[in-house]
Each structure stands twice: as C-alpha cells, then as structure tokens.
Structure 1
Amino acid sequence: MGKILFFDTSNGGHHFYYNFAAMKGVIGKLHEIKCCYASPEISGNIINKLEKERIDVYQVDVNIKHVPQILQRIVMLIKLLYFAKKRKYRRIHLFYLDGLIIPLLFVWPLIYLFHVQITATLHWFPNRKSKIIGMRFLLKQKVLSKIIVHGDYTRNLFVEQLGETYNNNKINCINYPNLHPIIKNNIDNDSIIINELKELKRPYILCFGGLRFDKGIDILIKAANKIKEVDFTLIIAGKEEYFKRDYLEQLIKENGLEQKVYLNLEFIPDEMVSSYFNISDMVVLPYRKYFTGQSGPLTEGVIRKKIIIGPDNGEIGFTIKKYNLGTVFLSENIKDLAEKLIKSIKNIHEIRKNIYDSQDNYSKMIDSEVFETKYYDFFRK
C-alpha cells in the first residue's frame, strides 16, 4: 500500500475526530505504511496526537486573502499535489470531498500528469446540479478512483446517477461512526448538567451541535411552542454559527418557552459531549430538507439508547426507518414535528422498549473499531 497523504480543509467540529479515527484504522493494521495528514490549520494539540500515531504533518499554507473560497481551495489542491509529487506520495485521500468537487475540476490535469490516485469521502449527496455533473465526470474519467459514502441512501443515489456498474467498485459504504464512546468516568460531568437542570421538567429533549442554518433549530423552537399538553425541557447545546444567541433568545421569548429551554451556546468540550447525551431522554434532529447526509448526534444518541426524532428524508430518515431507531417527521413541517414530539413524549416507555434491540444492533454497526477496520479494508483493496 506504500504511502498515503490524507487531506481535509478543516479540523473544526467533528472533522478531526473522524479523520483521526480513520487514519488510526489504516496505520494501526499496516505498520509498514507511511501516512501524512495535510490541512491548512493544524493546532499543536492535533500535531501531538498525530505524531504519537507516527503520522507526519503537512500544513498547507495559503497566504491569499479577500478571494473567493473556491480559489483558496484550488490553490490548496495544487500545493497538495506538488507536495505529493515531491515526497513521492502516489495516493491522496480527501476526507471532505463535499467542498472540493468543483475545485477538483480545475486541477484534474495535474492529477493525471503526476500519476496520483485520488480517493475521497463524501458526507452527503450534492444538491447542486453542477456538483452532480462534476461528480459524474470525476468518477467516469477516473480522476477519483473510488469514494466512501455513509449509507445506502447516498450510495443508491449515485448508482441511479452513474449506473449499476459503479455500485461495488466505485461507491463504498462505511457507516458514520460513534466518535465519542460512552465514558465511564464522567459521573461528575453528568452531575454538573443535572444540577443545572434540576428545576426543569423531564423528558429532556436534546438538540446538539453547531447551530448551522441547515440544522433547523428555529424550526424546532417553533414546533416546541405547539406542545401544550405534556411537560418537557428542550436542551440546546452547541456553538453559535448561523444562529446567534440574541436571535434564539428572542425566538424563545416570542414562543413563550423561557421556562422550557436550557441554552448552552458555547463550544462543548470533548469531555462534556457524552454527558449531554447521557442525561437526555430523546435526541431531535430538525434538519432542513436540503441536508441529505448522516448525523453525528444520531450515532451518539443511538449508542445510549435515546429515542431519535429526525426528518423523513436523506440519509438520516433512511437510517431511522430502516434500522428502527425512533420516529421521523416531515422535514421543515413545524406542525408534524410538534405532533411527533408529543406522541414520543406520551409513549416514551413503549417506544424505548420497541427500539431497544434494533438500537443495540445498530450500535454494533457504528462501533469505532468496525469503522477503523472498514477504512483499512478500503485502502487494502
């Protein structure tokens, strides 16, 4: 297998946890392999983790400001390719293809010229027609030799676009893993949150993660306003992004939910992630329709046997329905989300019993060791 150069445009959020687990899976089983991780911003803490696993580091320096992001990414890819040529890396894996489809269309002649094999991970099926056409070109012209997706929903969409011949050799399915295994020594962290919630009523409904527009926290708050007949507390935990504190506090006030919402709009440190899922009763994923990927909070909730409430479309809806992990609602439909929340609250014990075995089975599928082994198999072929 020789040498592999891994690349991501970001190490924020869940990116590095995912990337690190994948690289450990490859290098842990192939001690003779040489790996390098490339990214534009790599902290000292990340460098230390990589070096402990014998993974080299290349910081892709892009000193161009006030230019479109697409141009920055084209420059990153060019630098990456020249680095690979200089250091004799014949294989590059792009961990986040989603933001690199169009940039790759500008640099593919260099890939041919340098005789580099490119593989990649695509986290959700493209919504833009230009990206779908771009993916078709990159795969059919073998600019991308093969890719990883995170579920049968996405793989099936690609087969529809490209034909059945791409089903097994070009499009490989690896389930999105649980990246924060249940921590047994975090009782103190659990207690901290429980103490802050002691005046608020169960069930605790968790919406976790950075507040991007596509995650639909505004939809959830408006749906919560319609829940009148049962008690609940909505926990919103995640860093401000598109949605800011002032807007959310105003929206909560307008919907009369001041006594029913717990807000923590800070970055949640790794050691606290498990605690939020441990103390919650349900995990809700109010994504907008255009998001078709998989969800980290879904995996965190499933391994802790929490009821999952998610949209009926995309990889999330497909997964919840196929593996019986909870219930789905019509995406972006405030009324239907409210009805599904009420039904889940009223029947919480029955639902837990009904989904327990299927959640247990799915937990085994998304175990980090299974994930690492599948990444190893992907590169071994």
Structure 2
Amino acid sequence: MEFFGMNKRKIIAIADPYSTGHHLSYNKLLVEAARRNDFKVVYISDRIGCKYINEIFPDTDIFINEIGISNSKISREVKKIVFYIRAFQYCRRRDIACLHIAYIDRSIFSIALANSAIKIDKLLITLHWNYFSSPENNSLINRLETKIFSWLSRGSVNTNVHSGLIVDDLYIHNIKSKYTPYPIAVLPSITSHEENKLSCDGEIDALVTLIRKADVSLLCFGGMRYDKGADLAVHLLESLPEYTHLFIVGKPEYFSKEYLNNLAMSLGVESRMHVYDQYIADDDIQSIFNACSIVCLPYRESFSGQSGPLTIAASLGKPILASNNRFIAFEINNQSIGEVFDSLSFHEVNRAFIKALEKSYSPKEFIEKHDPERFIESIGEMYKVNND
C-alpha cells in the first residue's frame, strides 16, 4: 500500500522475521504502543506473524516477508540478509521514515549490511540479549559483532534494551547510543491473575495434573537451549530431596528429550524427571506455572539477557530457584523474588531450595514494574521522541 497524503513521520514499520516463541505476544504490544500514539503501523514478518497481527489489528498494513527454514548456518545468514534488505527496501519505496527492528539479536551482520546499503531516516533496534559484548564472551566473532554494533548504534539509531546490566556492558565496550532500558512486560493474560478461560488440550491437562501430584515440583520452562541449562536442572535432582520431581517443559533445541532421559538414568533420578518437549502456547502457560511449586532457572553464565520464565513466575508469586548467572541473580536479589545458589554443591543447592519453599513472595511490586500498560506507554514515548 502507498501512503500518499500521510505525514511519513506518522508511520512506523515494525520488522521481525520470526513468529516463533513469544515473539508475537511481544510484538503485539509494540503495535499497540504505536497505534495509541496515532501512528499508522506496517508489520513486516512471515505469513504466520502477519496473519496474527492483522487479525488483532485489522487496520494494520502487512508486508509478508518469509525467511523460511534453514538447514545450515550459512543458509540462515543469507536468508536473514535477504529479509532485512527487503524490509529496508519496502520502507524506502513507501517513504516510511521510521523502522523498528524488534529483535536485533543474532542478526547484527544482516541488519548492518542492509542499513549500509539502504538508509532509513530513523532506525530503532531492540537488543534483548547481550551475548556478543558481555565481558565473558571474547571470541573473534563476538569482538567483530561488538564493533559492528558500535558502528550501527551511531547517528540516528536508537537502541532499546530491557536491562540496566546490558547498558552497563555496552558502555564497558564504549558503545554509545540512546539507551532506553524499559522492563520487559508480563504477558497480559498472566497479569490478570485469573486462570485462563480457554481450556487446555488433553496433553496439557495431563501435564498439569502430573505436576500437581508431585509433593514438590520443580519447573524448568522454555526452549531447551544450552545456555538455559536444562541438563544442569537434571543434575540438581541429585542434591534435592527424594520427594522432589523435575518437569522440563519446552521445545527441544540444543538438548533433546532422549539426551535428558539418558542423563537422568545415568544419575539414577529418571523416576523423578519428566520431559514435555513441545512448544507451549500463551494460553496454556499460566496453568503450568500455577501447578508447580518452584520455577527453576539453572542458567549458565553465557546467558545474557531477560528471562521470560522469571517474569512469569515472579508475576504469579512463584518462588524461583536460580543459578548465580549475573543477569538472573541481579533481578532475583534486587526484587526479592527467589533464591540464588552459587554452585551445584549439595549444601548450597539444598540451602537455596529450602529457603525458596519456606518463604512467601508477593508479586505486587514486580507486576507494577512490569505492567504491560507501563511498557506500552514507555514504547509509545520512544516512538514519539524518534518521530519528532
């Protein structure tokens, strides 16, 4: 669609190549923030993402830009480059002044290349993870990404992050930008503190029942990535009382169900470890979290960003048992929403586990800080400032 007669500074394009995980619920808040401030929105994503946004906001224009499935790292990078070049070209052809890239993570090369070839008046980027410029990551590729990001963050580019610690890390590397560390929002369906009205499917119902039956249930939730430490959660069971059961719930990524089952067998904890290796839709999340006793975040030090399971657990007043990853430990200790253990030693894990079970955690302050309405208001202000 051509936007003849419209002030180009009242149009915002939001681009995200992915419609997996919780990208859609996050991007829905971005669209809402723009609309509330009288911006015309163009949503650029794959067919699933565009359909989702268009059904909620029928007056939102869409540009279907498929990234497709990649079987190799090279293929994945090429497809990301094509996606972003097409997104930039679309904005230039339609004289759209502001483009918000909702997830710059793992796409720094692609975005920088598109930005150097096709200039946009106002480029907004959201960095969710600080995997490349964290002091712990010092590989050649990470150093190169840091330099590229530093170059990208100059001039009219505004970087939005969700953690003050990420801002600190970026300044350590002399990366200057207009940082706006808005707390990431709790999913709207979680904030209501009501059980979801949509009924779960049979498999989810069975999983929730199994979690509730355990004397003490430990929930490790989300994609089974290496940095999220699903394997470390299995090791934790060795140190915890016999009545504790671990539930690993999420889409297999680095770890498979077979690998985790074999690990549990080798440790002699297979009867207390349960894996549900499927993506969980937003409508089913609250039932699963409400059923568990403790939410477990055994993240490795390489994890460097915000945790969705932490946000959901804290919003429901569920105690959190977490490793001393500095991003996670900062949130937990700063807001008193759980317990942190310094190592996988028997005594250290048990101490934190018992404290997590015995203490009560109020979600009120956390919810206020991570209220979706405040998030929408903050993002809306960012859009207005960058379109003056």
Bin for the TM-score computed over the shorter chain: 0.7 to 0.9
- Structure 1 CA distance for aligned equivalents of residues 63 and 76 of structure 2: 20
* CA positional deviation for 1:199: 4.6
1:365 is aligned to 2:372: no
1:108-127 matches, within 5 Å, as 108-112=115-119, 115-127=120-132
Task: Report 1:1-381 matches (<5 A).
Answer: 1-27=9-35, 29-31=36-38, 33-42=39-48, 45-52=51-58, 54-61=59-66, 67-112=74-119, 115-127=120-132, 128-140=142-154, 142=155, 145-162=157-174, 166=176, 170-179=178-187, 180-181=189-190, 182=192, 184-186=194-196, 192-197=206-211, 199-201=213-215, 203-227=216-240, 229=241, 231-330=243-342, 333-335=343-345, 339-348=347-356, 350-352=358-360, 355-356=361-362, 359-381=363-385
Q: What letter matches 1:149 in structure 2?
A: V
Which stretches in structure 1 are left out of the alignment for 5+ residues? none
**Letter of the aligned partner of 2:17 in structure 1?**
T
The SS at the match of 1:70 is: helix
- Is contact 1:94-1:119 (8 Å) kept? yes
**Displacement, 1:364?**
0.9
- 1:198 & 1:301 partners in 2: Cα distance? 16
Give secondary structure in 1 for the equivalent of 2:239.
Answer: coil
Alpha-carbon distance in structure 2 between the residues aligned to 1:344 and 1:319: 16
Q: Distance in 2 between matches of 1:232 and 1:198?
A: 12
* Equivalent position SS for 1:215: coil
Cα 1:26–1:340 change in 2 (3 A) is farther
1:196 match: secondary structure? helix
Structure 1 pair 3–225 and aligned structure 2 pair: CA distance change class (3 A) = same
Q: Name the aligned partner's letter for residue 325 of structure 1.
A: I
1:10–1:41: 8 Å Cα contact kept in structure 2? no
For residues 63 and 363 of structure 1, the distance between their equivalents in structure 2, rounded to whole angstroms, comes to 36
Letter in 1 for 2:239: K
Q: What letter corresponds to residue 269 of structure 2 in structure 1?
A: L
- The CA deviation string for residues 184-212 of structure 1, in whole angstroms up to 9 with x for no partner, is 244865975453345532x2111101111
CA distance in 2 between partners of 1:184 and 1:378 (Å): 31
Partners of 1:107 and 1:226 lie apart in 2 by 50
* Shift in alpha-carbon separation, 1:62–1:346, aligned structure 2, 3 A: closer
Could you state the TM-score of these two structures normalised by the residue count of structure 2? 0.85
The change in CA–CA distance for 1:93 and 1:157 in structure 2 (over 3 A counts) is: same
Cα deviation for residue 41 of structure 1 reads 4.1
Indicate the SS of the match to 2:48. Answer: coil
Note if contact 1:283-1:308 (Cα within 8 Å) is conserved in structure 2.
Answer: yes
| CA shift for structure 1 position 18 | 0.7
Give the whole-Å Cα distance in 2 for the aligned partners of 1:38 and 1:59.
6
State the 1:17 CA deviation: 1.0
Q: Measure how far apart 1:334 and its partner are.
A: 2.9
- C-alpha separation between the residues in 2 aligned to 1:80 and 1:146? 18
| Range that drifts further, 173-182 or 274-283 | 173-182
Instruction: Note if contact 1:148-1:173 (Cα within 8 Å) is conserved in structure 2.
Output: yes
Q: CA deviation at 1:177?
A: 1.3
CA distance in 2, matches of 1:43, 1:22: 13
- CA offsets, 1:294-352, max 9 Å, x none? 1000010001111122232342222112222212234xx432xx544422443345422
For the 8 Å contact 2:294–2:319, the answer to whether it is kept is: yes
Identity %: 24
Give the drift of 1:173.
Answer: 0.5
Structure 1 residue 96: Cα displacement: 0.5
1:244, 1:348 → 2: CA distance?
Answer: 28
Distance 1:296 1:290, change over 3 A: same
Counterpart amino acid of residue 82 in structure 2: V
State whether residues 158 and 178 of structure 2, in contact with CA within 8 Å, keep that contact through their aligned partners in structure 1: yes
**How far 1:374 sits from its partner (Å)?**
0.9
Partner SS for 1:284: strand
Please say if residues 220 and 334 of structure 1, whose CA atoms lie closer than 8 Å, have aligned partners that are also in contact.
no
Deviations 1:71-97, CA, capped at 9 Å, x for gaps: 222221211111111122111000111
Q: Give the conservation status (yes or no) of the 8 Å contact 2:15–2:100.
A: yes
CA contact (8 A) 2:32 2:376 kept: yes
Secondary structure (helix, strand or coil) at the match of 1:306 reads coil
**In 2, Cα distance between the equivalents of 1:3 and 1:340?**
53
Distance apart, 1:155 and its partner CA: 1.2
**TM-score (normalised: structure 1):** 0.86
2:18–2:46 CA contact under 8 A, matched in 1: yes
C-alpha separation in 2, matches of 1:328 and 1:294: 16
Indicate how the Cα distance of structure 1 residues 111 and 339 shifts in structure 2: closer, same or farther if over 3 A, else same: farther
